Every structure is written in structure tokens, then in C-alpha cells.
Structure 1
Amino acid sequence: MLQREIDPAMAADIAKFEEQLDRYLRGELPEDVFRVFRLNNGIYGQRQGGHHQMVRVKAPYGAITAEQLDLCAHIAEEYSRGWGHLTTRQNIQFHFVPLERVPALMRDLATVGLTSREACGDTVRNVQGCHLAGACPYEVLDISPWAEATFRHFLRNPLSQRLPRKFKINFSGCSTDCGQAMFNDVGVVAVTRRLDDGRLEAGFRVYIAGGLGANPHPALALEEFTAREDLLPTIEACLRVFDQAGNRDNKLRARMKWLIDTLGFEEVQRRILTTRKFLLASSSWPGGIPEEVEKLGDAPAGVAVGVTPTTIGQGTPVALRGTRPYERWVDANVVRGVAKGTVSAYAYARLGDVTAEQFRALASIVRELGIEVRITNRQNFVFRGLTDQQLPTLFARLEAIGMAEPGAELARDVVACPGADTCNLAVTQSRGLADAIGTALEDAGLAEVGGVRINISGCTNSCGQHHAADIGFSGAERRAHGQAAPGYQMLLGGYVGQERIHFGDRALRLPAKNAPEAAVRVVSRFAAEREAGETFRQWLDRSGGAKAVATELQDLDHFPTPEENPDFYVDYGETGPYVAEVGESECAT
């Protein structure tokens, strides 16, 4: 790789990691101490054991450059197995990296300004943001510079290093909430308020203490309106209260959402607002408009004259009117309506996987067309700043690398966590199920049904965000005929948007091998019965709810005997009998 000057702070991180790794390998640093240090640097142990590591690379609010995409191709080939994985939190993960080679990988990342620092562990994780921020016709503010300022403020911040548990921050530019603010420790949504003189002031509504996992909690509004100059102090006050009051004795009840259960919302709210009031006395007071916002500006994209904006968000109705592949891709993957007349278009990454060849091709597209690209929270890429004249070229380039399927917001765009492929906590092969569901939908002619999201997690921790999907699956061990078998809990009707969230309702439990058929039946019924403009959640409620829909799936909750069909006792992608092996948690979410 061409060596460039590395940021001194990054260089110090790498030097320290190299030093502590050397101590660990010599037996001078205890395993538990090194594990905490390793995780805080974004290096996560895999279920394969030994020195296999997953390296998680931060891409704040999904922003990534052509140079960084090229570097990802190099990382995939040089240190991993030829591919990287996009996560639901806009990170890029590389698996099967030898521990001894991590410092060299970190050094390569630093040459293009990328870091894995605090991508794992009990830290402030990657700061997420709506991938259409700055290009969305509905946004109140462009949250991109605000997410950047937040990322920079908390990176290496002493407050962020040894929290009771991980801390997640998300930004959305409007109430559509494409950034999914409603299930995070701090979720920020741009809003307006009317002043006494009649003018509108743009600012934020800050939501706190949301979370998924085995016990999902909806985020709650801290106050009706937070002024722009108060946003960073508000977020820091939330972090300080969590650091002081979070449960350090029981990690299962250590997230910020549990503070609401133990202290009550009013007390948590009082502590945060009191802390914010006196932050002015701090030597590192983060108040005022951040430098990044002053420099880049946060004016909204607006709507082009004479253009009807494309609907955005969960439940988006997608109608594929064209018959040619290009026309169908435009119908499903192109978003129109911003002030400068530009359009945005999605590149579909099946299961969130991107090969080295695809990384390089994406970088080439960015340079050729002079556009920008971001990672989405549904494990795809979105190109921004396009003209209509550039769309055929973009489609041709994506088609050449297998990323031009109409996937965004269609049924085929199944989201899954890494599952038992690499995660210590997963009990099922969630990626294998995602692939099987995608294939089953294709075979049934349902892959291009719009307005339905399918998400899968290999355990209850919801890294695949199954709670917030129209159709969700959560992996679980089942017992049948005296044997262990892979299974799933199916949930229906999860929804996030319009500053509200509805977690999916339990439908029924299923053998893993029957889950694709269950998905096909539900998508088929939704496609046949929905009314014009009706969302999946609205259809579900009109149909009697999850339990009513599940009554038509009861025949699928059946295990044949091992003699009748041994395949039911072998998980996707495996060759031997199913075993639910769970290792020590390193908190990969």
C-alpha cells in the first residue's frame, strides 16, 4: 500500500495496541485485561477460537470515500478472506484476521483516515445517521455535520472509554427516522418549533434510553425541543448520567434503558438536564455550534421545483412498472426530489457482503461520476449527487459487479447478523436462513414485493434488528424427538418511523428449515390482500394481528423425526448434527 502520513492520534493508538499485543503474546498481560483493551480497539474474537479476529471499522453516518473503498479491497485480500461485511450500524467488518496482523491492518486503515477505535466494547460506538442526510427532500436539517461533530467529540474522549455498557447514538434529519433514532441510547431527530414572532426555528428532539436486545425498550423524548447550540452538551450529559448511574455489577441490566426501569424516567430526565446546565463549568464544555457544522453547514436539501419527492422510510410503497432490468432498478432503487435536482441510487449488497473486486469497482464509480456514497443501515450502499443522465452508466457499472438488482426496500433485501458463522453468542446460522428466504422468495416470484422488510438475528440480542422489521426471525435452540434442532421465533409487525416504534409481535416458533416457507406465505398474503398505500403494519392490524396470521402457519411448527427428515436437525451451511454452542460474550452488537 502507498504509505501516507498517519494522524498522530491514530499512530498512538496503533503503537499502544502493538505494545499491549506483544505483552499479551509473551504472557505478561492477563486474558481478561487484554480482551477489554482489544474490544475497545474494535477487535472482536470469533467463535472459531484461537487467534481468529473480526475487525470492525467505523464509518460515521455511513460516509466513506473512494480512497477508503480501495483500502477496504486491500484489507479484504491481504488480511481476510477476500470480502468484507456491511453492518446494520454502518460499520465494515473483516473476519478471520490473524491477531498478530492486526497492528499492520490498523496502520493501513489509518493511511486513509479509518479507525476501529471504540467500534466494540463498553464505549460510544459508531455514530449512525440517515444515509440520505443532505440529499433527502423531507429533512429539517442535514444531520451529517452534526453526526461528524458527535463522532469526533467522543472519539478517544475519557468519558467514552469504560462505560457500564456500550452506548449507541443515531441521527435522523426528519421524523421519517431513516436513521432509526427510536431504539438507541440517544436518538436525535431534527425538528422545528414556532417562535413567538411566527418564525420557525430548526433544532432537535432528543430521545433517550431506547434499545433492542432480549428486552426491547422504545426511546423516550427527553424534552420537546433542543436548540442547536445545546445538542452536544445534551448528548454529553446523557453519557455522564449513564456513566455515573449505570449498573456496573450486572451487564445484563447495564444499558441505559434499564436506568428508566430502576430510577424512573422523571429522575433520569432531571439528572440529565441538571448535568447539562452545569456543563458550562467543564473545561471541555462542548456547547455552541460545532466547528464541523459551521464549516460544512446544515441547511436541508429541500425539494426541487416541479418535482414530487419519492416517499422514504419503512413501509415505502414500491411499484415496479418497467419490464426491462434498468427500468425496474430505477423504480426500486432511485430516490428523487432534492433541491439541486440530483438523485440518489442504491447498490444492492446481498447479505451485506462485498468482495474486494466490488469494493474497487465502487471506488471507481465514485471517481468516474464525481459523486459520493454512503453505507446504509440495511447493509447496502447509496450513491448521492447523481444526475438523471448518469443513471444508465451507474446501472451498467453495478450490473457488471452483481450489485444492480432492484433490492432496496423490496422483500429480497433480507438483513441478517453474522450469526453462528463467526459470533460466539449466536445459536443459529442466520445468514444461511437469510439466503434461503431470499431464494424461496425468488422462486415464488415474490422477491420484488415492496414495503416489507425481513430481518434475522441468530439469537435474542437483535444484532439483525429483528424486533423492528415487518417480518423478524430470532434464532433459538429447539428440542424435538429427543434431539437438539435449529429453530426460530417469528415476529410480525415491527415498525420504526414518524418518531414512534412498534416492536414486532410474537407469531409462532418454527423449525429453521420451515422459516423460508413461513416468510413466503406471509409475503404472498400481504401482496395479495393489501390495499393501496397500506403498510405491512396496517395490513397486519386489519388482518387480526400476528397471532391471527400465525394460525395459518401452524402446520409449519412441526419437526419430522430424524429418520423421516434428518435435514431438520442440521443448520444451514452445516454438515453435521446441530449443536447450540455458545461462547463467552464479547458483545458484538
Structure 2
Amino acid sequence: MKNFKSEIENPIISKDILDLENKIALYYEGKIDEARFRSLRLARGIYGQRQFGVQMIRIKLPYGKVSSEQLHRIAEVSDTYSRGRLHITTRQDIQIHHVSLEKTPELWAELEQDEITLREACGNTVRNVTASETAGIDIKEPFDVSPYAQAVFEFFLRNPICQEMGRKFKISFSGTDEDTALSFINDLGFIAKLNKGEKGFKILIGGGLGSQPRPANVMCEFISVDKIIPLIEAVLRVFDRYGERTKRSRARLKFLVQQIGLVAFVKLVKEEHKALSNQTYKIDTAKFDKEIILPEIKIPSVKIKNMETYNLWKETNVIPQKQQGLFAIGIKIHLGNFYTDKARLLAHLIKKYAANELRLSLRQNILIRHVKEELLPFFYVELKKLGFAETGYNSLVDITACPGTDTCNLGIASSTGITKELEKVLTNEYPHYKNNKDITIKISGCMNACGQHAMAHIGFQGMAIKSGNLVAPALQVLLGGGIIGNGKGRFSDKVIKIPSKRGPEALRYLLNDFETKKEDKETFLKYYDRKQEHYFYKLLKPLADTSNLQQKDFMDWGSNEQYINTVGIGECAGVVIDLVATLLFESEEKIEQAKASLQLNQFSDSAYYAYTSMVNTAKALLLTKEEKTNTQAIIITEFEKLFSDKIKLETPFSEFVYQIKKNKPSKEFTTKYVQDAAFFYKKVTTYRTKTRSNGNNQQA
């Protein structure tokens, strides 16, 4: 077994990687069941691919920030363990595909050499914290949200309150009211505000996409920056306790907020106040407040062959920064995919000629920051050599799409294939839309909306459609979504379903009608609202006829074989483990983790481990009776009802467990609470052993 400790200074990270390697060995030996192992690897960024025997690795890059050294490291890892391709996601992560499971500990250890983690990039955890890619340079922003996104990432990484939730949890930080980090579709969204000179945030809660999109509610109009981490912690505690755990399709925070109502939810959040590890949490912004230091270099002399093209590039891809004399350069990355040879050259450019920083965007692009104005011609020439000077950054021709059936288990139809075809249509037939930033096209390969199709002006969702006894790949056409701003957004209407091969024609129908029927200076959304959904249904209806399909219509984009609608088991939020023995084993582990945290004076963490142990232990016993265990709150109620006369405690079980809500996490309280958890675990395991023994004797 490789000694990662010699490579990694941080003992917590070293232990994490060694634990993964040990668990992989146990899994191969058949000593850990598939469901339990899946949950563990997902929380470490390892996601099963559509292709058998290989994994997708998701690299967690908070708010998309990447240095030259980190990009070099990611490129090296991709070349060593994969195929040299990097994929930017719509949550500012990088994914590497086709990695062998047994190689993942080595890969992770190498990434950690440059402070890059896989931890909690997937699974039922707090996912990557996203932010506006222009944070820190935006002329309109009241302040830089980057340090706050960084602090949230650091505080909740490996935090016991968010390791085994019912579903994933997404957080975003928008730098301005334009809401470019999409607060209205996140579980928690923060929008930077100033209130009489004080820094703070407007907070949105309970948003989400998927098959049932829901706009977030305004939780509060302003909260000071030192209160955001305690608030997030309280929300996560409530979600962990009351969130659905059995019905996966109803387990996101948006359903809990919808079910009990915002007022009741906020009340539960306030009740967690006493138990929090910090009542306020000061966030250090010093690293982000430093003056930008650029390398002193001689400006390279370059010759621009076509000034018209160069000026168009400056118009569409170059953004003036709030720092005088500095500019950001947007790079349009087709489908979010780029290769390691270009990544290395890009890393060299930002190290030598900029401020050694780029940001990945939520539209799967790259933004180079802090470039001197006199260096813009040089960057244009160098980026053009890499194929990175294509105009139209963040415009209509810059289509967002998920990987779809290329690699994803849940993909129904090819989202990348239709994207390529639509981009051809736009480039060849509608060149005047090259710099149109009023219309967005987004594409997902299934209803889960990783390509964010449900909030696009023009969206396409991969589906299947029947024609006689055959099945063809299809697209649901959605229209009318978009960002309104300041936490408000609108979701697209599902207009009509058409065969996938007619997607390009549908785009032509829409753009031609818009061009001929729009009123003076009318935006696409206003035109859509004026015409209404039924108009567009009638417009596109001829394309929905399946009685005249040809052989090519039964083949998906990029394929020469007949389409088969095959969908695997999704892994994006893990699997709930309901095995009694596994739960009791995990309860024992939690008690040991509680004791270890107690020794380190991490009282809040220790108490939460103890709390989770009690809930797991109670759930294990309820499962032997086939009782409901949908939420932690239900588990506590049902256990008290069914086992209070069998498991004798000093107080009713609910009071016994909910001590965590009513006490500050002091050393005195936490010590007793951990002892209570161990006492309860012993009582339950003794009872279970006794009842099982009696049952066996009766059968004998």
C-alpha cells in the first residue's frame, strides 16, 4: 500500500486518502457491500460512468478559481490516469473521465500537492460553492464575494453536519444584482449588498432545477457577512434532520421548504441557534484585499493580421475590470471540453503575463483575469494559436450542455451531438447573432437539468419518442426561461416534443419567426410573453409529426446505430443505506469520531457525531420492525413511540436526543452527550442481541 503520508503534510487529508484506499481494497474483497461503498466514493468525487469499469473524477474548485500551478497539476493527473481531456461543469468544477477505481487514491494524493480536493464533489454533501466568475473585478459589484465563498467552502469541508444528508446541497454567491451565480436555482443563494456601508447579503433559499424546478424564496433581504456561516450551519442542521431520506425524488431542500412553508422553516432554523459552533463567524478577507502584483515584463511585439476580427474579439470577449488599466479575457470552451496540451500553455500564459489566476464559469468557459491593456494584442495572438480566440463569449452561440449519453448513466439522448449541430446552424446561417447576449440556449441529456435547460430562453431536454414499434431520440423544446435579477428568475415552459434530428430546424423556426415578428427593440423574452406558449406550440407542431420518420431519425447524433433508450442508475446524490448491521457499525464509528473531536476541543463537531450516532442507532432498530424512517425527525418520534418501554432512558428519547438543540456546545455538555450516545448504543445493541437470541430459541 502506497504511503501517502510521505507526500501530504496535512494528516487529515492523508488519513482521508488512506481510508479511501482501504475501502477500495475491502470492496474488491467483498467485505463492503456495493451500496455502502458507492456512498463513500461519491463523497470523494468518484462517480460511476456509463462505460463499465471506469469512473468520472470530479475535482472540486471553489468558485472556479484556478492558478497556473493547479492547472499544470490537473493536466498532469489527467495525462497519467485518464485520456488528457478536461471537462468544465456548470458548477465550476473540472471532471476527468475514464479513470480506474484503484488509481483514484494516487490521483487524489497528487492533486493535493497543489491544494486541490475531490472531497464532497459528489454525494449527499455540500457541493462546490459557486460564485460569479467576475467576482473581485466587476465594476458593478459592491464588494468581492470570493473570500466569503472560500470561507464557506473551507468551513463545511469534512464538517460532520453535512456528510450524510438526504440529498446534495448547493450554495452560490452572486457579486451583483445581475445574479450571474443564479441564486434563484440554488438551495442557498447569496447576493452581495451594502446596507449603510455595511457588507452583507440578500439570501435566497429552496431553489432548484431537476424535473420539478422551483424558484428560491427570499429568506432575508440583508444579513451581515459575519452571520452567513452560522446561518448556513443552522439551515444544514434543519435539512439533515427534517429532509426526506427514503423518496429520493422528494429529498432536496426545495421540497422541505415547500412542504412546511418558509415561516415554519425559518422558525426551525432559529431553534438551532444555541447549538451552533459559532454565533458569529468573522471571515478574513486579507488575502483577497491585497494589491494585484503583475510580473514586470517587456511587452512582446506582435502583428495582428486582421484588425476587424481582433476588434470583434475585444468587443465580445474582453471585459474591463474595476482595477484601472486591467482587463479580463473570456475564452469560449466548446461543450466545456479542452485538452491538457492547451491547458499547460494557458497555465504558462497566466503565470508569466497575468496575475496567475483564471476562473471557470457556470457557462463552462474560462475567464483570464488581470491582463494589462497593452498585453491584449499579445494574448489575442497566443490564444488564437490555441484555438481559444473564438468570438462570442457568453453569447447566443455559446451553448451550455451536459455530457449526456457520452458518459452519464442518466443520459437519454445526446446533448453534445445536438449542441454541435445547433452551433453549426448559428455560425453558418445566423452570423449576426455572434455577439447577441440576450438569448441563451441550454441543453440537458435528461430531466435532471445539469445543462440548466429549464431556465434557458431556448432549452432542449433529451428524451425518447415512439413511432410505431420503434423508439427515436427526441428533444423536449422549452421556451421562456431566464434570469430576471436580484434573486428572481423564470423557468421555461415545456412547449413540444420533437425527434432529435429536427432540433436544428426547430431553432431555425424560432429565430426566423423572432426576426420577422418581433417589435422594435423587443427582447426574446418579451416577444415570447407577447406571443404566448400556444403560439410556439403551433409554430413547431409540424416538426412533432412522427408518422414520416426516416431511418436517420432513429439514430442519435454522432451514432450510426439504431437508437436504444437505455438509462442506468443515477449516482448524483448517492444511495440511502438501510441495512441494520451497517447502520449499527456506522453508529459505533460516529461515537469514536465524537470522542476524537472531543479530545481536540471541537465540541460542536463532537456533539453532532454523537447526535448522528443516536439517530442511526434508532433507525437500525426501527428497520427491524419495518417502520417509517423517511426523516431523522420521524425516526426520533417513531422510536420513542415504539421502544420507550423497551429501551429505558433517563428522559423520553426525543428529549434525550434533542439536548443538542437546547445546549451550547460546551466541553461539559458535549462530554456528557457523547457518553449518552455510547450508553444508548450499548442499550440498543444489547436489546437487539437479546431479542434475536430469543427469536432463534423460539424457532428452534
TM-score by length of 2: 0.76
1:354 matched to which residue of 2? 338
Where 2:79 maps in the other structure, the secondary structure is: helix
Is 2:17 the partner of 1:30?
A: no
Over 3 Å counting, the alpha-carbon distance change for 1:538 and 1:438 in structure 2 is same
Asked if the contact 2:171–2:187 (Cα under 8 Å) also holds between the matched residues in 1, the reply is yes
Matches within 5 A, 1:250-399: 250-275=247-272, 277-279=273-275, 282=276, 284-285=277-278, 287-291=280-284, 293-297=285-289, 324-371=308-355, 372-399=357-384
Alignment partner of 1:566 out of 542, 551, 560 = 551
What SS class does the counterpart of residue 148 from structure 1 fall into?
helix
The one-character-per-residue Cα deviations of 1:453-504 (angstroms, maximum 9, x if unpaired) are 1110111110100011111011111101321110011111211241211001
**1:12 to 1:500, Cα distance in 2 relative to 1, 3 A:** same
Amino acid at match of 1:278: K
The alpha carbon displacement at 1:95 in A equals: 0.6
Deviations 1:310-365 (A, max 9, x none): xxxxxxxxxxxx97221111111111251433221101110100101121111011
Residues 433-472 of structure 1 correspond to what in structure 2 (within 5 A)? 433-446=418-431, 448-450=434-436, 451-472=438-459
CA offset at residue 428 of structure 1? 0.6
Q: Offset at 1:75?
A: 2.2
- Name stretches of at least 5 consecutive residues in structure 2 with no aligned partner: 1-5, 292-305, 575-700
Deviation at 1:286, TM superposition (A): 6.3
Change beyond 3 A, Cα 1:295–1:385: closer
Tell me the SS of whatever aligns to 1:432: helix
Preserved contact between residue 85 and residue 354 of structure 1 (Cα < 8 Å): yes
Change (3 A) 1:298 1:569: farther
- CA gap 1:186/1:298 in 2 versus in 1, 3 angstroms: farther
- Once the two structures are TM-superposed, the CA of residue 288 in structure 1 deviates from its matched residue by 2.7
Q: Say whether residues 1:586 and 2:571 are aligned partners.
A: yes
The reply on whether 1:507 has 2:510 as its aligned counterpart is no
In structure 1, distance between residues paired with 2:221 and 2:178: 17
Percent of aligned pairs with the same residue? Answer: 36
Aligned to 1:383, the other structure's residue is in SS state strand
CA change 1:494–1:298 in 2 (3 A) is: farther
Tell me how far apart the structure 2 counterparts of residues 524 and 338 of structure 1 sit (CA, whole Å): 38
State the match for 2:204 in structure 1: 207
Offset at residue 449 of structure 1 (A): 4.9
**Distance across 2 between alignment mates of 1:13 and 1:387:** 42
Q: 1 CA distance for matches of 2:466 and 2:409?
A: 21
Q: Which amino acid aligns with 1:325?
A: T
What do residues 137-176 of structure 1 show as CA deviations (whole Å, max 9, x unaligned)? 1112210000000000000001110001000000001211
2:561 maps to: 576
Matching residue within 172, 175, 183 for 1:173 = 175
Q: Distance in 1 between matches of 2:416 and 2:274?
A: 48
Would the aligned equivalents of 1:440 and 1:517 in 2 still touch at CA under 8 Å?
no
Match for 1:142 among 141, 144, 152? 144
Q: CA separation in 2, counterparts of 1:66 and 1:570?
A: 42
Whether the 8 Å contact between 1:211 and 1:257 is mirrored in structure 2 is yes
Considering only CA atoms, is the larger Rg found in Structure 1 or Structure 2? 2
State the Cα deviation string for residues 70-106 of structure 1 (Å, max 9, x = none).
Answer: 1222122211122010000000001111112111111
Q: Distance in 2 between matches of 1:575 and 1:560?
A: 22
> 2:346 is matched by which residue type in structure 1?
L
Q: Does the aligned pair in 2 maintain the 1:61–1:127 contact within 8 Å?
A: yes
Asked whether the 8 Å contact 2:484–2:490 carries over to 1, the reply is no
Question: Which stretch of structure 1 is more off in the superposition, 21-30 or 88-97?
Answer: 21-30
Q: Summarize the alignment of residues 1-80 of structure 1 with structure 2, pairs less than 5 Å apart.
A: 5-49=8-52, 51-80=53-82
> After superposition, what is the alpha-carbon deviation per residue over 1:206-228, rounded to whole angstroms, capped at 9, x for unaligned?
11110000000101111121111
Q: State the partner residue of 1:549.
A: 536
Aligned partners of 2:338 and 2:10: how far apart in 1? 27
Equivalent AA in structure 1 for residue 13 of structure 2: M
Q: Report the secondary structure of 1:222's partner residue.
A: strand
Corresponding residue to 2:404 among 388, 413, 419: 419
| Deviation string, structure 1 residues 242-266 (Cα, Å, up to 9, x no partner) | 0111001111100000012221121
Q: Contact (CA 8 Å) 2:316, 2:435: kept in 1 or not? A: no
State the TM-score, normalized to the length of structure 1.
0.90
RMSD between aligned residues = 2.0
| Mapped partners of 2:371, 2:515: distance in 1 | 32
Range that drifts further, 467-476 or 266-275: 266-275
Equivalent-residue separation in structure 1 for 2:310 and 2:411 (angstroms): 38
Once residues 404 and 262 of structure 1 are traced to their aligned partners in structure 2, the CA distance between those partners, rounded to angstroms, is 48
Give me the whole-angstrom Cα distance separating, in 1, the residues matched to 2:543 and 2:36: 47
Q: Does residue 518 of structure 2 align to residue 536 of structure 1?
A: no
Contact 1:506/1:547 (CA < 8 Å) preserved in 2? no
AA of the residue aligned to 1:290: I
Name the counterpart of 1:99: 101
Q: Is the 8 A contact 2:7 2:109 kept in 1?
A: no
Q: Which amino acid aligns with 1:160?
A: C
1:381 deviates by 0.2
- Secondary structure at the aligned position of 1:225 is classed as strand
Q: Deviation of residue 5 (structure 1)?
A: 4.6
Distance 1:512 1:233, change over 3 A: same
1:419 deviation in Å? 0.4
Distance 2:219 2:22 in 1: 43
Task: Give SS of 1:224's match.
Answer: strand
Q: Which residue of 2 aligns with 1:307?
A: none
User: What code does the residue aligned with 2:46 have?
Assistant: I
Task: Give the structure 2 partner of residue 478 of structure 1.
Answer: 465
Going from structure 1 to structure 2, the CA distance change for 1:324 and 1:546 (only over 3 Å counts) comes to: farther
2: CA distance, partners of 1:59 / 1:248: 28
- Checking the alignment, whether the CA contact within 8 Å between 1:60 and 1:147 is kept in structure 2 is yes
Asked if the contact 1:145–1:297 (Cα under 8 Å) also holds between the matched residues in 2, the reply is no
Offset of residue 585 of structure 1: 1.4
Distance in 1, matches of 2:9 and 2:481, equals 44
Does the CA-based 8 Å contact 2:131-2:172 persist in structure 1? yes
Residue type at the aligned position of 2:218: A
Q: Comparing both structures, which one devotes a greater share of its residues to helix? A: 2
Higher mean Cα deviation, 407-416 or 332-341? 332-341
1:442, 1:32 → 2: CA distance? 46
Contact 2:320 2:328 survives alignment (8 Å)? yes
Q: Output the amino acid matched with 1:28.
A: K
The answer for the alignment partner of 1:526 in structure 2 is: 514
**Shift in Å at residue 525 of structure 1?**
3.8
| Cα distance in 2 between the residues matched to 1:567 and 1:273 | 59
Distance 2:7 2:310 in 1: 40
Flag structure 1 segments of 5+ consecutive residues without an equivalent: 194-198, 300-321
**Deviation of residue 531 (structure 1)?**
5.9
Counterpart-to-counterpart distance in 1, 2:446 and 2:288: 41
Deviations 1:408-459 (A, max 9, x none): 1222211111101111111111111111111121221345151211110111
Q: 1:341 to 1:286 in 2, by over 3 A?
A: farther
Q: Deviations over 1:531-573 (max 9, x none)?
A: 676432123223x1233234222221123545xx211001112
- Taking structure 1 as reference, are residues 187 and 285 closer, same or farther at Cα in structure 2, changes over 3 Å only? same
For the residue of structure 1 that corresponds to 2:191, the secondary structure is strand
